[in-house]
């Protein structure tokens, strides 16, 4: 997808059309999650500090991250992809590989299928997608970034190495900044330059990674498209505007995060058994603490009570806290059988389910956090 988060913001708020749009944390301590193409002209890019983005383009529209909305649109787009092939490997909320090698007789060749998908995504969501059509995942990935936004780049069989050769090393998928720096130190600038080194020389310089570099530079990638499995965890984290020492404020922030995670678990129809707390202190040192429940849960109160117990095992309240986050993992289907509770506990659990269901319905209808419990803990 093209500048996905920012494009969704413009879709939902048409008054932002044509303006530089930056999506990210509300405070200057956060980072840019996405930038529209108008914003990128000012040098703004993802993972950049928000304070720098504001300095580069103070007139931009700075929008908060609305992950639930992006996931909603993402699910709609992925459903469109699966109408064309069941072999969809979702890389992230806005990117996927599609294996259409068995669809030619019914749907046409790869470029024809890509055009049909692009057209349908635009008609049904109002958003644009850029596609790369190639014989393997590596080339398709690089090609999809070649002509953004709303691009379509086709690399015909046998032309993979020629397509990559003039591109800078940073375009070679899987080559990080440190590896690129080492390659540039020996005078290499393009992917074609990398092809000048033999397999033996690359292996000598980079070990096992050198063999991968040898193949990638030549456009070789034998990996199949692997159908994406269900999410392994559901989590949320928040970088605070100022470091927090007061335990009561830290708990309040974690309570809000538990609300969000609980709602997402219920929306996806899953429960989790392992609850993990992440704390990053003012000195950027971080720690995590986990606890596995006897029963999987999607209840925000249960998650929060577990998080409070884990919080006692950290230095929060002693050392200032910069970031707090949590995740629920070891997920299972919400319909999976579970052991009944004794002595009235089952009745209490059913009451919690009904309360959560009512809150979710109100929040889905009128907006996230329209209604939330005054307290999630007996403390």
Active-site residue list:
95
Query: CB-based contacts of 132: which residues, under 8 Å, 6+ apart?
Result: 139, 140, 141, 142, 143, 144, 145, 146, 153, 154, 155
**Helix/strand/coil for 311:** helix
CA–CA dist 332, 121 (Å, integer): 31
R_g of the chain, CA atoms, integer Å: 24
Give which of 197, 151, 191 is closest to 170, Cα–Cα. 191
Identify the three-state secondary structure at position 76. Answer: helix
Helices 247-267 and 345-366 cross at an angle (nearest 10°) of 80
Q: What are phi and psi of 284, to 5 degrees?
A: 75, 5
Place of tokens 């996405």: 34
Contact criterion met (CB below 8 Å) for 168 and 147: no
Which has the closest alpha carbon to 69: 278, 301, 314, 267?
A: 267
């Amino acid at each position: 997808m093209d500048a996905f988060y920012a494009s969704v913001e413009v879709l939902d708020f048409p008054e932002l059309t044509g303006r530089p749009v930056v999506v990210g944390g509300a405070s200057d301590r956060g980072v840019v999650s996405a930038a529209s193409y108008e914003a990128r002209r000012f040098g703004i890019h993802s993972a950049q500090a928000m304070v720098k983005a504001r300095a580069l383009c103070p007139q931009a529209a700075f929008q908060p991250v609305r992950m639930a909305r992006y996931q909603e649109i993402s699910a709609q787009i992925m459903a469109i992809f699966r109408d064309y092939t069941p072999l969809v490997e979702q890389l992230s909320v806005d990117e996927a590989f599609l294996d259409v090698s068995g669809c030619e007789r019914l749907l046409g060749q790869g470029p024809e299928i890509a055009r049909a998908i692009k057209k349908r995504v635009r008609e049904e969501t109002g958003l644009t997608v850029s596609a790369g059509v190639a014989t393997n995942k590596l080339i398709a990935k690089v090609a999809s970034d070649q002509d953004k936004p709303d691009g379509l780049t086709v690399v015909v069989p046998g032309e993979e190495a020629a397509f990559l050769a003039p591109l800078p090393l940073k375009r070679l998928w899987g080559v990080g900044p440190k590896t690129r720096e080492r390659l540039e130190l020996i005078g290499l600038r393009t992917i074609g330059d990398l092809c000048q080194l033999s397999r033996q020389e690359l292996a000598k310089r980079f070990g096992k990674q050198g063999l991968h570099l040898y193949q990638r530079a030549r456009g070789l990638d034998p990996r199949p498209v692997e159908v994406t499995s269900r999410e392994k965890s559901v989590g949320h984290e928040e970088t605070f505007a100022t470091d927090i020492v007061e335990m009561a404020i830290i708990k309040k922030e974690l309570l809000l995060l538990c609300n969000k995670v609980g709602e997402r678990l219920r929306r996806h129809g899953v429960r989790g058994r392992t609850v993990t707390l992440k704390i990053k202190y003012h000195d950027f040192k971080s720690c995590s603490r986990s606890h596995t429940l006897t029963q999987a849960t999607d209840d925000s109160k249960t998650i929060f009570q577990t998080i409070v117990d884990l919080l006692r095992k950290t230095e929060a309240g002693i050392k200032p806290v910069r970031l707090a986050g949590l995740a629920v993992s070891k997920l299972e289907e919400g319909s999976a059988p579970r052991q009944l509770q004794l002595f009235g506990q089952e009745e209490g659990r059913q009451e919690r389910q009904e309360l959560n269901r009512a809150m979710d319905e109100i929040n889905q209808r009128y907006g996230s956090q329209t209604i939330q419990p005054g307290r999630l803990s007996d403390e």
